[in-house]
Structure 1
Protein backbone atom coordinates (compact mmCIF):
# COMPACT_ATOMS: atom_id res chain seq x y z
CA UNK A 1 0.00 0.00 0.00
CA UNK A 2 2.80 2.40 0.95
CA UNK A 3 4.73 1.60 -2.23
CA UNK A 4 1.61 2.10 -4.30
CA UNK A 5 1.07 5.51 -2.67
CA UNK A 6 4.64 6.58 -3.44
CA UNK A 7 4.25 5.43 -7.04
CA UNK A 8 1.04 7.42 -7.34
CA UNK A 9 2.71 10.51 -5.85
CA UNK A 10 5.56 10.11 -8.32
CA UNK A 11 3.18 10.04 -11.26
CA UNK A 12 1.25 13.04 -9.99
CA UNK A 13 4.09 15.39 -9.09
CA UNK A 14 7.00 14.46 -11.40
CA UNK A 15 7.40 16.86 -14.36
CA UNK A 16 7.32 15.45 -17.89
CA UNK A 17 10.59 14.74 -19.74
CA UNK A 18 9.42 16.89 -22.65
CA UNK A 19 10.00 19.95 -20.48
CA UNK A 20 13.76 19.44 -20.94
CA UNK A 21 13.71 19.70 -24.75
CA UNK A 22 15.42 22.82 -26.10
CA UNK A 23 12.86 22.94 -28.90
CA UNK A 24 10.02 22.80 -26.37
CA UNK A 25 11.59 25.61 -24.39
CA UNK A 26 12.46 27.65 -27.48
CA UNK A 27 16.11 27.89 -26.44
CA UNK A 28 18.96 28.57 -28.84
CA UNK A 29 20.60 25.43 -30.25
CA UNK A 30 24.32 25.96 -30.78
CA UNK A 31 25.06 22.43 -31.97
CA UNK A 32 24.02 18.85 -31.28
CA UNK A 33 26.67 18.38 -28.57
CA UNK A 34 25.53 21.37 -26.54
CA UNK A 35 21.89 20.40 -27.06
CA UNK A 36 22.51 16.87 -25.79
CA UNK A 37 24.38 18.23 -22.75
CA UNK A 38 21.63 20.63 -21.72
CA UNK A 39 18.86 18.13 -22.31
CA UNK A 40 20.75 15.45 -20.36
CA UNK A 41 21.09 17.89 -17.45
CA UNK A 42 17.33 18.37 -17.51
CA UNK A 43 16.68 14.63 -17.63
CA UNK A 44 19.05 13.94 -14.74
CA UNK A 45 17.31 16.62 -12.69
CA UNK A 46 14.05 14.75 -13.25
CA UNK A 47 15.72 11.41 -12.46
CA UNK A 48 16.79 12.81 -9.09
CA UNK A 49 13.31 14.19 -8.51
CA UNK A 50 11.75 10.80 -9.27
CA UNK A 51 14.13 8.87 -7.00
CA UNK A 52 13.34 11.17 -4.07
CA UNK A 53 9.60 10.76 -4.59
CA UNK A 54 9.74 6.99 -5.07
CA UNK A 55 12.22 5.89 -2.40
CA UNK A 56 11.09 5.65 1.25
CA UNK A 57 14.01 7.61 2.76
CA UNK A 58 16.67 10.09 1.65
CA UNK A 59 19.31 7.45 2.35
CA UNK A 60 17.60 5.01 -0.02
CA UNK A 61 17.25 7.73 -2.64
CA UNK A 62 20.93 8.63 -2.29
CA UNK A 63 21.93 5.07 -3.21
CA UNK A 64 20.27 5.64 -6.57
CA UNK A 65 21.34 9.27 -6.94
CA UNK A 66 24.97 8.23 -6.53
CA UNK A 67 24.66 6.02 -9.61
CA UNK A 68 24.13 9.08 -11.79
CA UNK A 69 27.32 9.98 -13.73
CA UNK A 70 29.55 12.46 -11.90
CA UNK A 71 29.03 15.27 -14.40
CA UNK A 72 25.26 15.20 -13.85
CA UNK A 73 24.95 14.00 -10.27
CA UNK A 74 24.68 17.46 -8.74
CA UNK A 75 21.67 18.16 -10.94
CA UNK A 76 20.07 14.93 -9.74
CA UNK A 77 20.54 16.05 -6.13
CA UNK A 78 19.05 19.42 -7.07
CA UNK A 79 15.99 17.62 -8.41
CA UNK A 80 15.79 15.51 -5.26
CA UNK A 81 15.75 18.62 -3.08
CA UNK A 82 12.89 20.01 -5.15
CA UNK A 83 11.02 16.74 -4.69
CA UNK A 84 11.48 16.68 -0.92
CA UNK A 85 10.17 20.23 -0.76
CA UNK A 86 7.11 19.39 -2.87
CA UNK A 87 6.38 16.02 -1.24
CA UNK A 88 6.90 17.55 2.20
CA UNK A 89 3.93 19.79 1.47
CA UNK A 90 1.71 16.75 0.81
CA UNK A 91 0.12 14.27 3.25
CA UNK A 92 1.77 10.93 4.03
CA UNK A 93 5.29 12.28 3.61
CA UNK A 94 6.90 9.78 5.97
CA UNK A 95 10.69 10.11 6.13
CA UNK A 96 10.85 11.97 2.80
CA UNK A 97 11.50 15.34 4.37
CA UNK A 98 13.65 18.25 3.24
CA UNK A 99 15.32 18.78 6.62
CA UNK A 100 16.26 15.09 6.81
CA UNK A 101 17.71 15.25 3.31
CA UNK A 102 19.71 18.44 3.96
CA UNK A 103 21.11 17.08 7.22
CA UNK A 104 21.96 13.74 5.61
CA UNK A 105 22.92 12.78 2.05
CA UNK A 106 22.08 16.21 0.65
CA UNK A 107 24.56 18.03 2.86
CA UNK A 108 27.62 17.75 0.56
CA UNK A 109 25.38 18.99 -2.26
CA UNK A 110 24.09 21.99 -0.29
CA UNK A 111 24.65 24.51 -3.08
CA UNK A 112 22.54 22.54 -5.53
CA UNK A 113 20.03 21.39 -2.91
CA UNK A 114 19.14 24.93 -1.88
CA UNK A 115 18.68 25.80 -5.55
CA UNK A 116 16.28 22.86 -5.84
CA UNK A 117 14.22 24.25 -2.97
CA UNK A 118 13.78 27.43 -5.01
CA UNK A 119 12.41 25.39 -7.92
CA UNK A 120 9.81 23.91 -5.60
CA UNK A 121 8.80 27.33 -4.26
CA UNK A 122 8.04 28.40 -7.82
CA UNK A 123 5.55 25.53 -8.02
CA UNK A 124 3.97 25.69 -4.55
CA UNK A 125 1.50 28.25 -3.18
CA UNK A 126 3.13 30.54 -0.66
CA UNK A 127 1.46 29.02 2.37
CA UNK A 128 3.21 25.73 1.53
CA UNK A 129 6.68 27.20 1.18
CA UNK A 130 9.18 25.30 3.35
CA UNK A 131 10.11 26.42 6.82
CA UNK A 132 13.51 25.22 8.01
CA UNK A 133 16.60 26.66 9.64
CA UNK A 134 18.30 28.48 6.80
CA UNK A 135 22.04 28.85 6.46
CA UNK A 136 22.46 32.68 6.26
CA UNK A 137 25.04 32.26 3.52
CA UNK A 138 23.37 29.60 1.43
CA UNK A 139 19.69 30.51 1.89
CA UNK A 140 20.00 32.99 -0.97
CA UNK A 141 20.62 30.08 -3.33
CA UNK A 142 16.93 29.30 -2.80
CA UNK A 143 16.06 32.53 -4.57
CA UNK A 144 18.75 31.81 -7.14
CA UNK A 145 16.83 28.61 -7.86
CA UNK A 146 13.55 30.48 -8.00
CA UNK A 147 14.99 32.97 -10.48
CA UNK A 148 16.40 30.15 -12.61
CA UNK A 149 13.01 28.45 -12.70
CA UNK A 150 11.21 31.61 -13.77
CA UNK A 151 13.72 32.35 -16.53
CA UNK A 152 13.73 28.72 -17.70
CA UNK A 153 9.96 28.30 -17.87
CA UNK A 154 8.87 31.92 -18.42
CA UNK A 155 11.69 32.89 -20.74
CA UNK A 156 9.83 35.48 -22.78
CA UNK A 157 8.90 37.42 -19.65
CA UNK A 158 12.02 37.08 -17.50
CA UNK A 159 14.77 36.94 -20.14
CA UNK A 160 13.56 38.58 -23.34
CA UNK A 161 11.29 40.96 -21.43
CA UNK A 162 13.86 41.56 -18.63
CA UNK A 163 11.05 41.36 -16.06
CA UNK A 164 12.01 41.69 -12.41
CA UNK A 165 9.78 40.84 -9.45
CA UNK A 166 9.23 44.19 -7.69
CA UNK A 167 8.74 42.63 -4.25
CA UNK A 168 9.31 39.12 -2.95
CA UNK A 169 8.07 37.86 0.44
CA UNK A 170 10.88 35.40 1.21
CA UNK A 171 12.99 35.05 3.33
CA UNK A 172 11.93 38.25 5.12
CA UNK A 173 13.99 40.23 7.62
CA UNK A 174 16.16 43.31 7.19
CA UNK A 175 17.84 42.03 4.03
CA UNK A 176 14.64 41.43 2.10
CA UNK A 177 15.71 44.11 -0.40
CA UNK A 178 18.40 41.70 -1.63
CA UNK A 179 15.90 39.13 -2.96
CA UNK A 180 15.78 40.52 -6.55
CA UNK A 181 19.59 40.41 -6.77
CA UNK A 182 19.65 36.78 -5.66
CA UNK A 183 17.01 35.96 -8.26
CA UNK A 184 19.05 37.74 -10.93
CA UNK A 185 21.93 35.39 -10.19
CA UNK A 186 19.59 32.51 -10.99
CA UNK A 187 18.30 34.25 -14.10
CA UNK A 188 21.92 34.62 -15.22
CA UNK A 189 22.46 30.88 -14.78
CA UNK A 190 19.33 30.18 -16.80
CA UNK A 191 20.53 32.49 -19.58
CA UNK A 192 23.47 30.12 -20.10
CA UNK A 193 20.84 27.46 -20.90
CA UNK A 194 18.54 29.78 -22.86
CA UNK A 195 21.52 30.82 -24.98
CA UNK A 196 22.43 27.20 -25.61
CA UNK A 197 25.91 27.67 -24.01
CA UNK A 198 26.82 29.94 -26.92
CA UNK A 199 29.06 32.71 -25.56
CA UNK A 200 27.93 35.30 -28.08
CA UNK A 201 24.22 34.60 -27.65
CA UNK A 202 24.50 34.64 -23.85
CA UNK A 203 26.46 37.91 -23.94
CA UNK A 204 23.84 39.47 -26.21
CA UNK A 205 20.98 38.38 -23.93
CA UNK A 206 22.67 39.79 -20.82
CA UNK A 207 23.50 43.01 -22.66
CA UNK A 208 19.80 43.74 -23.13
CA UNK A 209 19.29 44.03 -19.37
CA UNK A 210 19.80 47.30 -17.48
CA UNK A 211 23.47 47.83 -16.62
CA UNK A 212 22.80 47.66 -12.87
CA UNK A 213 21.57 44.07 -13.20
CA UNK A 214 24.40 42.75 -15.32
CA UNK A 215 26.94 41.96 -12.55
CA UNK A 216 24.54 39.48 -10.92
CA UNK A 217 23.53 38.06 -14.29
CA UNK A 218 27.16 37.57 -15.32
CA UNK A 219 27.92 35.93 -11.97
CA UNK A 220 25.14 33.42 -12.58
CA UNK A 221 26.23 32.77 -16.15
CA UNK A 222 29.83 32.26 -14.98
CA UNK A 223 28.63 29.73 -12.43
CA UNK A 224 26.63 27.83 -15.05
CA UNK A 225 29.45 27.91 -17.61
CA UNK A 226 31.75 26.37 -15.00
CA UNK A 227 29.37 23.90 -13.36
CA UNK A 228 27.30 22.77 -16.35
CA UNK A 229 29.87 23.40 -19.10
CA UNK A 230 29.09 23.34 -22.78
CA UNK A 231 31.76 25.70 -24.11
CA UNK A 232 35.42 25.18 -24.92
CA UNK A 233 38.37 27.30 -23.84
CA UNK A 234 38.28 29.70 -26.80
CA UNK A 235 34.57 30.34 -26.41
CA UNK A 236 34.88 30.83 -22.65
CA UNK A 237 37.68 33.33 -23.24
CA UNK A 238 35.45 35.23 -25.65
CA UNK A 239 32.70 35.32 -23.03
CA UNK A 240 35.20 36.50 -20.41
CA UNK A 241 36.42 39.35 -22.58
CA UNK A 242 32.86 40.40 -23.47
CA UNK A 243 31.94 40.62 -19.77
CA UNK A 244 34.06 43.78 -19.44
CA UNK A 245 33.58 45.41 -16.04
CA UNK A 246 31.66 42.33 -14.87
CA UNK A 247 34.66 40.01 -15.14
CA UNK A 248 35.18 39.87 -11.34
CA UNK A 249 31.58 38.65 -11.01
CA UNK A 250 32.12 36.00 -13.68
CA UNK A 251 35.15 34.82 -11.68
CA UNK A 252 33.11 34.85 -8.47
CA UNK A 253 30.39 32.67 -10.01
CA UNK A 254 33.00 30.33 -11.44
CA UNK A 255 34.64 29.96 -8.01
CA UNK A 256 31.26 29.13 -6.46
CA UNK A 257 30.83 26.38 -9.06
CA UNK A 258 34.29 24.99 -8.34
CA UNK A 259 33.58 24.89 -4.60
CA UNK A 260 30.16 23.31 -5.14
CA UNK A 261 31.69 20.52 -7.20
CA UNK A 262 34.62 20.03 -4.81
CA UNK A 263 32.40 19.89 -1.73
CA UNK A 264 30.27 17.21 -3.38
CA UNK A 265 33.27 15.29 -4.75
CA UNK A 266 32.12 15.84 -8.33
CA UNK A 267 35.18 17.36 -10.03
CA UNK A 268 35.13 17.34 -13.84
CA UNK A 269 37.63 18.45 -16.51
CA UNK A 270 35.41 21.22 -17.90
CA UNK A 271 35.30 22.86 -14.47
CA UNK A 272 39.07 23.27 -14.54
CA UNK A 273 39.04 24.70 -18.06
CA UNK A 274 36.51 27.33 -16.97
CA UNK A 275 38.28 28.35 -13.74
CA UNK A 276 41.58 28.73 -15.59
CA UNK A 277 39.88 31.12 -18.04
CA UNK A 278 37.66 33.01 -15.59
CA UNK A 279 39.70 32.89 -12.37
CA UNK A 280 43.22 32.36 -13.64
CA UNK A 281 43.43 29.42 -11.22
CA UNK A 282 42.93 25.65 -11.21
CA UNK A 283 39.60 24.57 -9.67
CA UNK A 284 41.04 23.61 -6.27
CA UNK A 285 42.57 27.05 -5.79
CA UNK A 286 39.47 28.82 -7.09
CA UNK A 287 37.41 26.85 -4.57
CA UNK A 288 39.91 27.79 -1.84
CA UNK A 289 39.11 31.47 -2.46
CA UNK A 290 35.50 30.74 -1.47
CA UNK A 291 36.57 29.01 1.71
CA UNK A 292 39.11 31.67 2.70
CA UNK A 293 36.68 34.57 2.21
CA UNK A 294 33.64 32.94 3.83
CA UNK A 295 32.11 35.25 6.48
CA UNK A 296 31.75 34.11 10.07
CA UNK A 297 29.05 34.96 12.54
CA UNK A 298 25.39 35.95 12.24
CA UNK A 299 23.85 37.67 9.24
CA UNK A 300 23.43 41.05 10.94
CA UNK A 301 25.41 43.60 8.89
CA UNK A 302 24.20 46.20 6.43
CA UNK A 303 24.68 43.68 3.62
CA UNK A 304 23.56 40.05 3.81
CA UNK A 305 26.46 37.74 4.53
CA UNK A 306 25.97 36.11 1.13
CA UNK A 307 26.62 39.40 -0.67
CA UNK A 308 29.58 40.16 1.60
CA UNK A 309 30.98 36.78 0.62
CA UNK A 310 30.43 37.35 -3.10
CA UNK A 311 32.10 40.77 -2.97
CA UNK A 312 35.10 39.39 -1.07
CA UNK A 313 35.53 36.68 -3.69
CA UNK A 314 35.24 39.17 -6.56
CA UNK A 315 37.67 41.56 -4.86
CA UNK A 316 40.17 38.73 -4.40
CA UNK A 317 40.11 38.04 -8.12
CA UNK A 318 40.54 41.74 -8.86
CA UNK A 319 43.66 41.66 -6.67
CA UNK A 320 44.86 38.71 -8.76
CA UNK A 321 44.41 40.76 -11.94
CA UNK A 322 41.15 39.19 -13.08
CA UNK A 323 39.45 42.41 -14.14
Structure 2
Protein backbone atom coordinates (compact mmCIF):
# COMPACT_ATOMS: atom_id res chain seq x y z
CA UNK A 1 0.00 0.00 0.00
CA UNK A 2 2.76 2.44 0.90
CA UNK A 3 4.67 1.78 -2.33
CA UNK A 4 1.55 2.32 -4.43
CA UNK A 5 0.72 5.49 -2.52
CA UNK A 6 4.22 6.82 -2.99
CA UNK A 7 4.00 6.16 -6.72
CA UNK A 8 0.68 8.03 -6.87
CA UNK A 9 1.86 11.15 -5.03
CA UNK A 10 2.83 13.13 -8.19
CA UNK A 11 -0.73 12.77 -9.49
CA UNK A 12 -2.05 14.73 -6.51
CA UNK A 13 0.65 17.36 -6.17
CA UNK A 14 -0.51 20.99 -6.26
CA UNK A 15 1.93 23.69 -7.31
CA UNK A 16 1.47 27.48 -7.28
CA UNK A 17 0.72 27.38 -11.02
CA UNK A 18 -2.35 25.24 -10.25
CA UNK A 19 -3.89 28.03 -8.19
CA UNK A 20 -3.05 31.27 -10.06
CA UNK A 21 -5.86 33.31 -8.54
CA UNK A 22 -4.73 32.60 -5.02
CA UNK A 23 -1.06 33.27 -5.69
CA UNK A 24 -1.42 36.53 -7.59
CA UNK A 25 -3.37 38.31 -4.89
CA UNK A 26 -2.15 39.01 -1.42
CA UNK A 27 -3.26 39.83 2.07
CA UNK A 28 -4.93 37.69 4.69
CA UNK A 29 -7.74 36.35 2.49
CA UNK A 30 -5.51 34.87 -0.21
CA UNK A 31 -3.04 33.64 2.38
CA UNK A 32 -5.80 31.79 4.22
CA UNK A 33 -7.28 30.23 1.08
CA UNK A 34 -3.85 29.17 -0.13
CA UNK A 35 -3.09 27.61 3.25
CA UNK A 36 -6.31 25.58 3.08
CA UNK A 37 -5.46 24.27 -0.40
CA UNK A 38 -2.02 23.14 0.67
CA UNK A 39 -3.22 21.52 3.91
CA UNK A 40 -5.59 19.41 1.81
CA UNK A 41 -2.70 18.49 -0.50
CA UNK A 42 -0.35 17.61 2.35
CA UNK A 43 -2.90 15.35 3.98
CA UNK A 44 -3.75 13.62 0.73
CA UNK A 45 -0.09 12.64 0.58
CA UNK A 46 -0.25 11.43 4.18
CA UNK A 47 -3.20 9.17 3.35
CA UNK A 48 -1.43 7.80 0.29
CA UNK A 49 1.76 6.93 2.16
CA UNK A 50 0.57 6.00 5.68
CA UNK A 51 -0.21 2.33 6.08
CA UNK A 52 -1.99 2.25 9.42
CA UNK A 53 -5.23 4.03 10.18
CA UNK A 54 -4.29 4.98 13.74
CA UNK A 55 -1.04 6.56 12.54
CA UNK A 56 -2.91 8.55 9.89
CA UNK A 57 -5.45 9.77 12.45
CA UNK A 58 -2.71 10.89 14.84
CA UNK A 59 -1.01 12.87 12.07
CA UNK A 60 -4.23 14.55 11.02
CA UNK A 61 -5.09 15.42 14.61
CA UNK A 62 -1.71 17.15 14.96
CA UNK A 63 -2.91 19.94 12.65
CA UNK A 64 -4.22 23.12 14.30
CA UNK A 65 -7.81 22.62 15.37
CA UNK A 66 -9.17 25.27 13.01
CA UNK A 67 -7.57 23.55 9.99
CA UNK A 68 -8.22 19.96 11.05
CA UNK A 69 -11.36 19.55 8.94
CA UNK A 70 -9.32 20.40 5.86
CA UNK A 71 -6.73 17.84 6.95
CA UNK A 72 -9.40 15.12 7.03
CA UNK A 73 -10.67 16.33 3.66
CA UNK A 74 -7.20 15.80 2.24
CA UNK A 75 -7.12 12.31 3.72
CA UNK A 76 -10.38 11.57 1.93
CA UNK A 77 -8.73 12.46 -1.39
CA UNK A 78 -6.03 9.86 -0.93
CA UNK A 79 -8.19 7.13 0.58
CA UNK A 80 -10.74 7.27 -2.22
CA UNK A 81 -7.99 7.11 -4.81
CA UNK A 82 -6.55 3.98 -3.19
CA UNK A 83 -10.02 2.43 -2.94
CA UNK A 84 -10.60 2.93 -6.64
CA UNK A 85 -7.28 1.46 -7.69
CA UNK A 86 -7.52 -1.43 -5.21
CA UNK A 87 -11.21 -2.06 -5.57
CA UNK A 88 -11.40 -4.76 -2.90
CA UNK A 89 -10.40 -2.12 -0.34
CA UNK A 90 -12.92 -0.06 1.63
CA UNK A 91 -10.57 2.30 3.46
CA UNK A 92 -12.75 5.37 3.01
CA UNK A 93 -15.85 3.80 4.52
CA UNK A 94 -13.85 2.10 7.27
CA UNK A 95 -12.28 5.45 8.15
CA UNK A 96 -15.62 7.25 8.52
CA UNK A 97 -17.10 4.31 10.40
CA UNK A 98 -14.18 4.54 12.82
CA UNK A 99 -11.87 7.38 13.87
CA UNK A 100 -13.14 9.88 11.29
CA UNK A 101 -16.85 9.50 12.12
CA UNK A 102 -17.21 13.15 13.15
CA UNK A 103 -15.35 14.27 10.02
CA UNK A 104 -17.52 12.26 7.62
CA UNK A 105 -18.60 15.33 5.65
CA UNK A 106 -14.99 16.44 5.13
CA UNK A 107 -13.76 12.96 4.20
CA UNK A 108 -16.52 12.53 1.62
CA UNK A 109 -15.77 15.96 0.14
CA UNK A 110 -12.17 14.87 -0.24
CA UNK A 111 -13.18 11.55 -1.77
CA UNK A 112 -14.98 13.37 -4.55
CA UNK A 113 -11.88 15.45 -5.22
CA UNK A 114 -9.76 12.32 -5.43
CA UNK A 115 -12.07 10.74 -8.00
CA UNK A 116 -12.03 13.90 -10.08
CA UNK A 117 -8.24 13.95 -9.98
CA UNK A 118 -8.21 10.42 -11.38
CA UNK A 119 -10.83 11.41 -14.00
CA UNK A 120 -13.25 8.79 -12.71
CA UNK A 121 -17.03 8.89 -12.62
CA UNK A 122 -17.93 9.32 -8.92
CA UNK A 123 -21.37 7.70 -9.11
CA UNK A 124 -20.25 4.09 -8.69
CA UNK A 125 -17.99 5.00 -5.77
CA UNK A 126 -20.84 6.86 -4.11
CA UNK A 127 -23.04 3.78 -4.32
CA UNK A 128 -20.26 1.58 -2.96
CA UNK A 129 -20.16 3.65 0.21
CA UNK A 130 -23.58 2.28 1.16
CA UNK A 131 -24.64 5.58 2.72
CA UNK A 132 -27.99 6.68 1.20
CA UNK A 133 -27.86 10.17 2.71
CA UNK A 134 -24.35 11.55 3.00
CA UNK A 135 -22.79 9.73 0.07
CA UNK A 136 -24.05 12.58 -2.15
CA UNK A 137 -21.38 14.76 -0.55
CA UNK A 138 -18.90 12.94 -2.81
CA UNK A 139 -20.46 14.76 -5.78
CA UNK A 140 -19.96 18.06 -3.96
CA UNK A 141 -16.24 17.33 -3.64
CA UNK A 142 -16.12 16.30 -7.29
CA UNK A 143 -17.71 19.60 -8.31
CA UNK A 144 -15.28 21.60 -6.20
CA UNK A 145 -12.28 19.98 -7.86
CA UNK A 146 -13.62 20.59 -11.36
CA UNK A 147 -14.61 24.16 -10.56
CA UNK A 148 -11.20 24.96 -9.13
CA UNK A 149 -8.73 22.95 -11.20
CA UNK A 150 -10.74 22.97 -14.46
CA UNK A 151 -12.12 26.46 -13.89
CA UNK A 152 -12.38 27.54 -17.51
CA UNK A 153 -14.48 24.57 -18.61
CA UNK A 154 -16.80 24.25 -15.65
CA UNK A 155 -17.14 27.84 -14.42
CA UNK A 156 -16.35 30.13 -17.32
CA UNK A 157 -17.89 27.84 -19.93
CA UNK A 158 -20.42 26.42 -17.39
CA UNK A 159 -20.06 22.82 -18.61
CA UNK A 160 -21.38 19.90 -16.55
CA UNK A 161 -19.75 16.45 -16.86
CA UNK A 162 -21.95 14.56 -19.36
CA UNK A 163 -21.82 11.34 -17.32
CA UNK A 164 -23.65 12.94 -14.41
CA UNK A 165 -27.44 12.82 -14.42
CA UNK A 166 -30.38 13.61 -12.18
CA UNK A 167 -29.58 14.81 -8.68
CA UNK A 168 -25.85 14.21 -9.20
CA UNK A 169 -25.78 17.36 -11.33
CA UNK A 170 -27.22 19.42 -8.51
CA UNK A 171 -24.80 18.02 -5.93
CA UNK A 172 -22.00 18.79 -8.41
CA UNK A 173 -23.14 22.42 -8.42
CA UNK A 174 -22.92 22.59 -4.62
CA UNK A 175 -19.22 21.93 -4.99
CA UNK A 176 -18.92 24.27 -7.94
CA UNK A 177 -20.25 27.08 -5.75
CA UNK A 178 -17.58 26.36 -3.14
CA UNK A 179 -14.96 26.45 -5.89
CA UNK A 180 -16.17 29.90 -6.95
CA UNK A 181 -15.43 31.16 -3.42
CA UNK A 182 -11.84 29.93 -3.67
CA UNK A 183 -11.18 30.70 -7.33
CA UNK A 184 -12.28 34.33 -6.97
CA UNK A 185 -10.17 34.78 -3.85
CA UNK A 186 -13.48 35.26 -1.98
CA UNK A 187 -14.10 38.54 -3.82
CA UNK A 188 -17.81 38.97 -3.16
CA UNK A 189 -18.53 41.09 -6.24
CA UNK A 190 -16.85 38.53 -8.50
CA UNK A 191 -18.72 35.72 -6.75
CA UNK A 192 -22.07 37.32 -7.55
CA UNK A 193 -21.09 38.05 -11.15
CA UNK A 194 -19.85 34.50 -11.64
CA UNK A 195 -22.97 32.85 -10.22
CA UNK A 196 -25.23 35.21 -12.18
CA UNK A 197 -23.53 34.01 -15.37
CA UNK A 198 -25.08 30.55 -14.91
CA UNK A 199 -28.61 29.61 -16.02
CA UNK A 200 -31.20 30.56 -13.37
CA UNK A 201 -32.02 26.94 -12.55
CA UNK A 202 -28.43 26.32 -11.40
CA UNK A 203 -27.92 29.42 -9.28
CA UNK A 204 -29.63 28.21 -6.10
CA UNK A 205 -27.33 25.20 -5.75
CA UNK A 206 -24.32 27.38 -6.50
CA UNK A 207 -25.32 29.86 -3.77
CA UNK A 208 -25.65 26.96 -1.32
CA UNK A 209 -22.06 26.04 -2.10
CA UNK A 210 -20.98 29.64 -1.64
CA UNK A 211 -22.66 29.61 1.77
CA UNK A 212 -20.80 26.50 2.87
CA UNK A 213 -17.47 28.04 1.87
CA UNK A 214 -18.37 31.34 3.52
CA UNK A 215 -19.21 29.64 6.80
CA UNK A 216 -16.56 26.94 6.88
CA UNK A 217 -13.57 28.59 5.21
CA UNK A 218 -14.43 32.27 5.49
CA UNK A 219 -11.65 34.79 5.08
CA UNK A 220 -13.67 37.94 4.32
CA UNK A 221 -14.50 39.34 7.76
CA UNK A 222 -17.88 40.62 8.87
CA UNK A 223 -18.07 43.32 6.19
CA UNK A 224 -17.56 40.71 3.47
CA UNK A 225 -20.19 38.42 4.98
CA UNK A 226 -22.69 41.27 5.07
CA UNK A 227 -21.91 42.04 1.45
CA UNK A 228 -22.39 38.45 0.29
CA UNK A 229 -25.67 38.30 2.19
CA UNK A 230 -26.93 41.36 0.35
CA UNK A 231 -25.69 40.18 -3.04
CA UNK A 232 -27.37 36.78 -2.75
CA UNK A 233 -30.78 38.47 -3.15
CA UNK A 234 -33.61 35.98 -3.59
CA UNK A 235 -31.16 33.13 -3.02
CA UNK A 236 -30.55 34.09 0.60
CA UNK A 237 -32.25 30.86 1.87
CA UNK A 238 -29.82 28.82 -0.20
CA UNK A 239 -26.86 30.84 1.10
CA UNK A 240 -28.14 30.25 4.65
CA UNK A 241 -28.49 26.53 3.91
CA UNK A 242 -24.79 26.33 3.12
CA UNK A 243 -23.85 28.28 6.24
CA UNK A 244 -25.95 25.93 8.40
CA UNK A 245 -24.14 22.93 6.90
CA UNK A 246 -20.84 24.60 7.77
CA UNK A 247 -22.03 25.11 11.34
CA UNK A 248 -22.97 21.44 11.68
CA UNK A 249 -19.62 20.31 10.31
CA UNK A 250 -17.77 22.60 12.72
CA UNK A 251 -19.82 21.78 15.81
CA UNK A 252 -19.75 18.07 15.14
CA UNK A 253 -16.04 18.14 15.96
CA UNK A 254 -16.30 20.82 18.65
CA UNK A 255 -14.55 23.47 16.57
CA UNK A 256 -16.93 26.28 15.57
CA UNK A 257 -14.48 29.17 15.19
CA UNK A 258 -15.00 32.85 14.52
CA UNK A 259 -15.65 32.51 10.77
CA UNK A 260 -18.74 30.33 11.09
CA UNK A 261 -19.99 32.27 14.11
CA UNK A 262 -19.95 35.49 12.10
CA UNK A 263 -21.56 33.86 9.06
CA UNK A 264 -24.37 32.37 11.16
CA UNK A 265 -25.08 35.61 12.97
CA UNK A 266 -25.07 37.79 9.83
CA UNK A 267 -26.66 35.42 7.29
CA UNK A 268 -28.88 33.17 9.42
CA UNK A 269 -29.62 35.44 12.40
CA UNK A 270 -28.60 32.64 14.77
CA UNK A 271 -25.60 31.47 16.72
CA UNK A 272 -23.54 28.76 15.09
CA UNK A 273 -24.72 26.30 17.75
CA UNK A 274 -28.36 27.05 16.92
CA UNK A 275 -27.62 26.61 13.23
CA UNK A 276 -25.93 23.27 13.87
CA UNK A 277 -28.97 22.14 15.81
CA UNK A 278 -31.21 23.00 12.84
CA UNK A 279 -29.13 20.68 10.65
CA UNK A 280 -29.09 17.91 13.26
CA UNK A 281 -32.87 18.06 13.79
CA UNK A 282 -33.48 17.96 10.04
CA UNK A 283 -31.89 14.51 9.85
CA UNK A 284 -34.67 12.92 11.90
CA UNK A 285 -37.07 10.62 10.07
CA UNK A 286 -35.72 11.09 6.56
CA UNK A 287 -37.66 8.94 4.06
CA UNK A 288 -35.88 5.97 2.54
CA UNK A 289 -38.08 5.34 -0.50
CA UNK A 290 -35.51 7.06 -2.75
CA UNK A 291 -38.20 8.84 -4.78
CA UNK A 292 -36.27 11.99 -3.93
CA UNK A 293 -32.76 11.72 -2.47
CA UNK A 294 -32.90 11.86 1.32
CA UNK A 295 -29.89 14.16 1.19
CA UNK A 296 -31.90 16.74 -0.78
CA UNK A 297 -34.85 16.44 1.60
CA UNK A 298 -32.43 17.12 4.45
CA UNK A 299 -31.20 20.25 2.72
CA UNK A 300 -34.75 21.40 2.00
CA UNK A 301 -35.57 21.11 5.68
CA UNK A 302 -32.45 23.10 6.57
CA UNK A 303 -33.32 26.03 4.33
CA UNK A 304 -37.03 26.00 5.14
CA UNK A 305 -36.75 28.29 8.24
CA UNK A 306 -35.05 30.95 6.12
CA UNK A 307 -37.59 31.05 3.29
CA UNK A 308 -40.15 33.82 3.04
CA UNK A 309 -41.79 32.36 -0.03
CA UNK A 310 -41.61 29.38 -2.38
CA UNK A 311 -38.11 28.43 -3.43
CA UNK A 312 -38.58 28.21 -7.17
CA UNK A 313 -34.86 28.35 -7.83
CA UNK A 314 -34.20 24.87 -6.37
- Matched ranges for 1:1-323 at <5 A: 6=2, 9-14=5-10, 15-18=12-15, 21=16, 24-27=18-21, 31-90=26-85, 97-124=91-118, 126=120, 130=125, 132-168=128-164, 177-318=166-307
Contact 2:121–2:163, Cα closer than 8 Å, also in 1: no
Distance 2:237 2:87 in 1: 47
Distance 1:193 1:119 in 2: 15
Distance 1:16 1:262 in 2: 30
Distance 2:28 2:130 in 1: 38
Contact 1:275–1:286, Cα closer than 8 Å, also in 2: yes
Secondary structure of the residue that 2:95 maps to in structure 1?
A: helix
- Structure 1 stretches lacking a partner, 5+ long: 169-175
Structural RMSD (CA)? 2.4
Q: Deviations over 1:25-70 (max 9, x none)?
A: 3326553211111111011102211222222222110101001112
| Deviation for aligned residue 1:85 | 1.3
Distance 2:286 2:262 in 1: 34
Distance 1:165 1:7 in 2: 32
Contact 2:264–2:271, Cα closer than 8 Å, also in 1: yes
Contact 1:295–1:308, Cα closer than 8 Å, also in 2: no
Secondary structure of the residue that 1:139 maps to in structure 2?
A: helix
Distance 1:112 1:82 in 2: 10
Contact 1:119–1:149, Cα closer than 8 Å, also in 2: yes
If the length of structure 2 is used for normalisation, what is the TM-score? 0.90
- Structure 2 stretches lacking a partner, 5+ long: 310-314
If the length of structure 1 is used for normalisation, what is the TM-score? 0.87
Alignment CA distance shift 1:108-1:243 (3 Å): same
Distance 1:104 1:52 in 2: 15
Alignment CA distance shift 1:57-1:162 (3 Å): same
| Deviation for aligned residue 1:296 | 2.1
Count of residue pairs the alignment pairs up: 305
Contact 1:136–1:298, Cα closer than 8 Å, also in 2: no
